[in-house]
Amino acid sequence: MWIRNAWYVAAWTHEIEPGRIHARTIIDQPLVLFATSDGGIVALEDRCPHRFAPLSLGRLEGDALRCMYHGLKFAPDGTCIEIPGQKLIPRSACVRRFPLAVVGSWVWIWMGDAAKADPATIPPTLALDDPAYRLQAGQLDYDAHYLLIDDNLLDLSHLSFAHEKTLGMDMPQWADMRPRMSPIDRGLRFERWHTGHHPRGFMKKLGAEVDVWTTYDFVFPGIFLQRTAFFPAGTAAASGSTAPQGEPLFWRIDEQAVTPVSPRTSRYFYAVGTRAQDIDPDKLERLYAVTTTAFHEDKRIIEGQQKLIDLEPGRTMLPTSLDAGPTQFRKLVEAMAR
Ligand code: FES
Ligand SMILES: [Fe+2]
C-alpha cells in the first residue's frame, strides 16, 4: 500500500528545463511536470480527462498544456481553458494538480490530500550551487522496491563488505560498531564515532590517524542526510559519545533520496561533496566517481535480493542485531500506512 500524504523527490531542479514536458511516475501515479514562465514548476496528473490520453504527449503553449489527441487545453492550475469546437467547458474538465515545492535542488511533490501539504515539513537540503560547498549530483534507476534501498541506507554495516574496496575500505568498524539510533519526525537519527581511522589518498593530509564523527537523519520515504566530520585523533575520547565541538578538518556531505516509482522500480537521487575549502574540483570528481561505483555495488546486491524475494515471497529472513535500523523504520512506515 502506498503512503500518499508525504513529500517525495520528483526530480533535480536542473532536470526541469523550460519549454519541455517531463513524464514521471511516483507511487504508480503518472505525472507530467513542466516549468512556467514565472520560474515555477507545475505537476499535473498525466491523463487527459477527455479520453485519457497522456498529457506528456501533448504540447506546451506558453504556460498552458494542450492534449495532442483532440486538442483540449489546460492552464497550469489544471483547469480546462479550451475545448475545440465547443463553447461550454464543464467544470469537471480539469486535471488534478499536485502540490509542489523546491527545497535545495530537489523538486518535492505531495502525492496526497493537498490540504495537508505543508512545505515546512520538507527536510532541509543543500542547493548544488551553494557557494559555501562543492557538490556533485547523480541518480540511478533501480529494479527494486524502495524499502529494500531504505534498508541498505539504514544499516551502514554493509560498507565493510559491499563496499570493501570503495566507501568501506579499511573500515571494519562499520560492521563491528553499532550506531546510536534515536527517533525523529517521520524517521530516525544515527550517530557514531569511528576512531583510529587512517586516511588514504588525498585525505592523507588530514593526518596519519583521525577520529570520524558520522551522523545522519533518515526520513520517509528515503531521505538520507549524512555529515561525516573528520577530527584529530583523540577528539572522540574527549567528546564522549556526544557530538564534537569545533570545526572539523574535513567535512563530507551526502544527501540522497529514494523515490518509489512502482512496486518493483525506484529512483535514487544522490549528491556528494564537502565544504568549498575542503576539496579541489578534480578531487571532488574522484570522490563522486568512487561514490557512484559504490552505489552500483549496492544496486547489484539489492536487485539480486529483489529477484530472490520474488522467487519465494513467503520465506522469512534471519534477524540479527544489524537490523535495528531497518526494523525500526519499517515499523514507522507501517504506522504511517495505518
Ligand atoms: S484525449 Fe485529450 S483531448 Fe481527447
Ligand atoms: Fe551502500
- What CA–CA distance (Å, rounded) separates 143 from 310? 12
Q: Please tell me the number of the ligand nearest to residue 149's CA.
A: 2
Is there a single domain that holds both residue 183 and residue 247? yes
Q: For the chain, first and last CA: distance in Å?
A: 10
Q: Is 293 helix (H, G, I), strand (E, B) or coil?
A: helix
Looking from the CA of residue 58, the nearest atom of ligand 1 is 2
Query: Domain residues for 268?
Result: 133-337
Are the C-beta atoms of residues 14 and 105 closer than 8 Å to each other?
yes
For the domain that residue 57 is a member of, what is the CATH number?
2.102.10.10
Query: How many whole angstroms from 97 Cα to the centroid of ligand 1?
Result: 17
Is there a single domain that holds both residue 210 and residue 285? yes
Examine residue 2 and state whether it is found in any structural domain, yes or no: no
Is there a single domain that holds both residue 41 and residue 109? yes
- What CA–CA distance (Å, rounded) separates 93 from 47? 11
Is there a single domain that holds both residue 153 and residue 206? yes
- What CA–CA distance (Å, rounded) separates 216 from 199? 21
Q: What does the pLDDT read at residue 202? A: 85
Q: Is 296 in the pocket of ligand 1 (CB under 6 A)?
A: no
* Nearest CA, atom 3, ligand 1: 70
Q: What does the pLDDT read at residue 34? A: 98
Is there a single domain that holds both residue 188 and residue 297? yes
Parallel, antiparallel, or unpaired for β 22-26 and 29-35?
A: antiparallel
Are the C-beta atoms of residues 97 and 78 closer than 8 Å to each other?
yes
Are the C-beta atoms of residues 221 and 8 closer than 8 Å to each other?
yes
- For a ligand 1 pocket test, name from 55, 59, 72, 83 the mutation site with the most ligand atoms within 8 angstroms of its C-beta: 72
Final residue of a structural domain among 61, 92, 121: 121
- For a ligand 1 pocket test, name from 44, 50, 80 the mutation site with the most ligand atoms within 8 angstroms of its C-beta: 50
Q: Is 59 in the pocket of ligand 1 (CB under 6 A)?
A: no
Examine residue 128 and state whether it is found in any structural domain, yes or no: no
Query: How many whole angstroms from 92 Cα to the centroid of ligand 1?
Result: 14
Q: What does the pLDDT read at residue 11? A: 98
Q: Model pTM?
A: 0.96
Q: What does the pLDDT read at residue 172? A: 84
Q: Is 95 in the pocket of ligand 1 (CB under 6 A)?
A: no
Examine residue 219 and state whether it is found in any structural domain, yes or no: yes
Task: Copy the grid coordinates of residue 40.
Answer: 515555477
- What CA–CA distance (Å, rounded) separates 201 from 290? 12
Examine residue 127 and state whether it is found in any structural domain, yes or no: no
Is there a single domain that holds both residue 108 and residue 141? no
> E-strand spans in 88-143?
100-103, 106-110, 133-142
Final residue of a structural domain among 88, 121, 154: 121
Is there a single domain that holds both residue 61 and residue 93? yes
Task: Using the structure block, give the residue that is written with the C-alpha cell 541518480.
Answer: 139
Is there a single domain that holds both residue 219 and residue 319? yes
For the domain that residue 269 is a member of, what is the CATH number?
3.90.380.10
Examine residue 68 and state whether it is found in any structural domain, yes or no: yes
Is there a single domain that holds both residue 266 and residue 220? yes
Averaged pLDDT in 10-residue chunks for the chain of 338 residues: 97 97 98 97 98 98 98 98 97 96 98 98 97 98 98 96 90 88 97 92 91 97 97 93 90 98 98 96 94 98 98 96 96 97
Quick count: other Cβ atoms within 10 Å of Cβ 226? 18
Examine residue 82 and state whether it is found in any structural domain, yes or no: yes
Parallel, antiparallel, or unpaired for β 7-12 and 64-66?
A: unpaired
Task: Copy the grid coordinates of residue 200.
Answer: 588514504
Q: What does the pLDDT read at residue 171? A: 81
Is there a single domain that holds both residue 36 and residue 97? yes
Is there a single domain that holds both residue 157 and residue 102? no
**Distance from the Cα of residue 129 to its chain's centroid:** 18
Q: What does the pLDDT read at residue 99? A: 98
Q: What does the pLDDT read at residue 175? A: 87
- What CA–CA distance (Å, rounded) separates 129 from 181? 31
Query: How many whole angstroms from 304 Cα to the centroid of ligand 2?
Result: 14
Final residue of a structural domain among 121, 148, 174: 121
Residue 252 has φ and ψ, to the nearest 5°, of -95, 140
Is there a single domain that holds both residue 30 and residue 149? no
Task: Copy the grid coordinates of residue 227.
Answer: 555529515
Looking from the CA of residue 48, the nearest atom of ligand 1 is 2
Total domain count for the chain?
Answer: 2
Task: Using the structure block, give the residue that is written with the C-alpha cell 512556467.
Answer: 36
Examine residue 156 and state whether it is found in any structural domain, yes or no: yes
Examine residue 19 and state whether it is found in any structural domain, yes or no: yes
Residues 6+ apart with CB under 8 A from 78: 44, 45, 94, 95, 96, 97
